[in-house]
Amino acid sequence: MNKDEYSEQISPVTIDAGPSSWQILQQDADGVASVTLSGRWWTIGRRKKPEVRVRIVREDDGTPIGTAHDWQRARTAIDRSLGGDRAGRFGTWRIKMGHIPRGGPYRIQTKVGSVEDAIEWRRSGDVVNLLGVGDLWLIAGQSNAEGYGRDPAYDPPEMGVHQCLPGGWELAMHEHSHSPWPAFGKILRRDRGYPMGLIPTAVGGSAVSEWDPGQDGALFKNMKDRLAAAGGRIKGCLWYQGESDTGAGDYPHYKARFRRFVRGLRRATRRPDLPVITVQLNRVLGPRDDAAGWEAMREIQRRLAHEIDGVYIVPVFEAGLCDGIHLSSLGNLLVAQRTAAVALGAVYGRDVAYKHPECRSARRVSGATIELHFDHIVTRLDYECDVGNGFAFAVRDREGEVPVLRYRMIGGNRMRIELARALHGRATVTGAPGCCPPHIVPRDISGYRGMLGFTMDVS
Instruction: State pLDDT tens for residues 110-155.
Output: 999 998 889 999 999 999 999 999 999 999 999 999 999 999 999 9
pLDDT band at 326 (very low <50, low <70, confident <90, very high): very high
Q: Over the stretch 394-436, which tens digit does the pLDDT of each residue have?
A: 999 999 999 999 999 999 999 999 999 999 999 999 999 999 9
Same fold, 3-132 and 358-457: yes
For residue 68, the model assigns a pLDDT of 95
Lowest mean pLDDT among 43-57, 163-177, 330-344: 43-57
Exposure pattern of 137-164 as b/e (b: 16+ CB <10 Å)?
Answer: bbbbbbbbbbbbbeeeeebeebebbbbb
- Sequence-distant (6+) residues with CB within 8 A of 144 are 240, 243, 279, 282, 325, 326, 327, 335
Directed axis angle between helix 329-342 and helix 181-192, to 10°?
40
Task: Give the whole-angstrom CA distance, residue 339 versus residue 280.
Answer: 11
Which of 119, 108, 179, 113 minimizes the C-alpha distance to 147? 179
Q: How many helices (H) and strands (E) does the chain have?
A: 7, 25
Going from the C-alpha of 333 to that of each of 41, 327, 350, 389, the distances in angstroms are 47, 10, 21, 27
CATH number of 142-347: 3.40.50.1110
**pLDDT of amino acid 6:** 52
Mean of per-residue pLDDT scores for the chain: 95
User: For 1-28, how does the pLDDT look when each residue is reduced to its tens digit (9 = 90+)?
Assistant: 454 555 556 899 999 999 999 999 999 9
Quote the pLDDT of residue 86: 66
Range 3-132 has CATH code 3.40.50.720: no
Helix or strand (DSSP H, E) at 367:
none
Instruction: Quote the CA–CA distance of 179 and 148 in Å, as a whole number.
Output: 7
Q: Is the dihedral of CA 425, 300, 179, 222 positive or negative?
A: negative
> Looking at the domain 358-457, which fold is it?
Immunoglobulin-like (2.60.40)
pLDDT at residue 5, rounded to an integer: 54
Q: What is the pTM of this model?
A: 0.95
Task: Please give the Cα distance from 197 to 257 (Å, whole number).
Answer: 27
Q: 169 - beta bridge partners?
A: 164
* Cα 459 to Cα 455: distance, rounded to the nearest angstrom: 13
H-run or E-run covering 165: strand 161-165
The domain ranges of the chain are 3-132, 142-347, 358-457
pLDDT in tens, 175-226: 999 999 999 999 999 999 999 999 999 999 999 999 999 999 999 999 999 9
Residue 48, CA distances (Å) to 45, 88, 122 in order? 10, 9, 13
Tens of pLDDT, residue by residue over 282-296, are 999 999 999 999 999
Q: Which helix (H) or strand (E) holds 67?
A: none
- β-bridge pairing 90-101 and 161-165: unpaired
pLDDT band at residue 255 under the 50/70/90 scheme: very high
Residue 127 CA to residue 57 CA, distance in Å, equals: 11
pLDDT(172) > 70: yes
What lies within 8 Å, CB to CB, of 108 at 6+ separation is 15, 18, 19, 35, 37, 54, 55, 56, 127, 128, 131
